[in-house]
């Protein structure tokens, strides 16, 4: 993939800018164990890029018990409380390698920045990481009807940025996220393995190499 100029870069949060994925795992695991459900890191991989209720449904499918809609809402809120306790003490030290350098360089180059995260805690995490000011728009689960791999979240971000999808670069670490970017008509860079993120236009190990593919001139 050659270096190109983009008008906007839209980032996922979990697994791209910071590793809150582990906190989600611990919170889901605590909830699952309280229900007598075995939940391990391998199954957790299936939840990457999936919203809260979608993740809960997949976990509850492992149980023989029946859960009403109200039961599911209460369980989702319980998981969220577990998660919020875990992320309460996050700081800029929890940013992944290259995040600050990447965001700073893109802002200096007058490239618009968006965040597309299915987490309803995205704003709180950005504030804790002290990077909210880098982003022109933040689109989270509260603003969309359809979760990834549907393209809605990335298209919404592009619309709010007033940038055409073809001039946007999306950065994701999940299969669902990459599918969302590609369905939106954007270029997709995956953080992770090319054998897993096969739809991505390019995969990189972390944000330290992202700027190699973006023209800042």
In the chain the domains, ranked by start, together with CATH numbers, are 8-19+93-213 (3.40.50.1000), 21-87 (1.10.150.240)
58 annotated binding-site participant: no
Give tens-digit pLDDT for 103-116: 999 999 999 999 99
Please give the positions annotated as active site.
12, 14
Read off the pTM. 0.83
Q: Are the CB atoms for 21 and 117 separated by under 8 Å?
A: no
173 annotated binding-site participant: yes
50 annotated binding-site participant: yes
User: In this predicted structure, what is the pLDDT of residue 165?
Assistant: 98
Give tens-digit pLDDT for 18-69: 988 788 899 999 999 999 999 888 888 888 768 889 899 999 999 999 999 9
> Which of 50, 87, 23 lies closest to 173 in space, CA to CA?
50
Give tens-digit pLDDT for 145-195: 898 999 999 999 999 999 999 999 999 999 999 999 999 999 999 999 999
User: Per mean pLDDT, which range of 113-122, 128-137, 161-170 is the poorest?
Assistant: 113-122
């Amino acid at each position: 993939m050659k270096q190109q100029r983009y008008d906007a870069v839209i980032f996922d949060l979990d697994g791209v800018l910071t590793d809150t994925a582990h906190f989600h795992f611990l919170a889901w695991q605590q909830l699952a164990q309280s229900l007598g459900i075995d939940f391990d890191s391998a199954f957790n991989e299936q939840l990457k890029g999936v919203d809260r209720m979608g993740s809960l449904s997949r976990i509850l499918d492992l149980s023989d018990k029946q859960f009403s809609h109200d039961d599911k809402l209460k369980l989702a809120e319980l998981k969220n409380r577990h998660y919020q306790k875990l992320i309460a003490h996050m700081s800029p030290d929890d940013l992944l390698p290259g995040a600050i350098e990447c965001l700073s360089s893109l802002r200096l180059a007058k490239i618009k920045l968006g965040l597309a995260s299915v987490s309803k805690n995205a704003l709180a995490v950005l504030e804790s990481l002290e990077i909210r000011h880098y982003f022109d728009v933040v689109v989270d689960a509260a603003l969309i009807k359809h979760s990834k791999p549907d393209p809605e979240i990335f298209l919404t971000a592009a619309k709010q940025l007033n940038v055409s999808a073809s001039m946007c670069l999306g950065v994701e670490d999940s299969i669902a996220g990459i599918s969302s970017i590609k369905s939106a008509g954007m270029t997709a860079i995956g953080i992770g393995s090319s054998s897993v993120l096969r739809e991505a236009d390019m995969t990189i190990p972390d944000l330290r190499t992202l700027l190699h593919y973006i023209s800042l001139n």
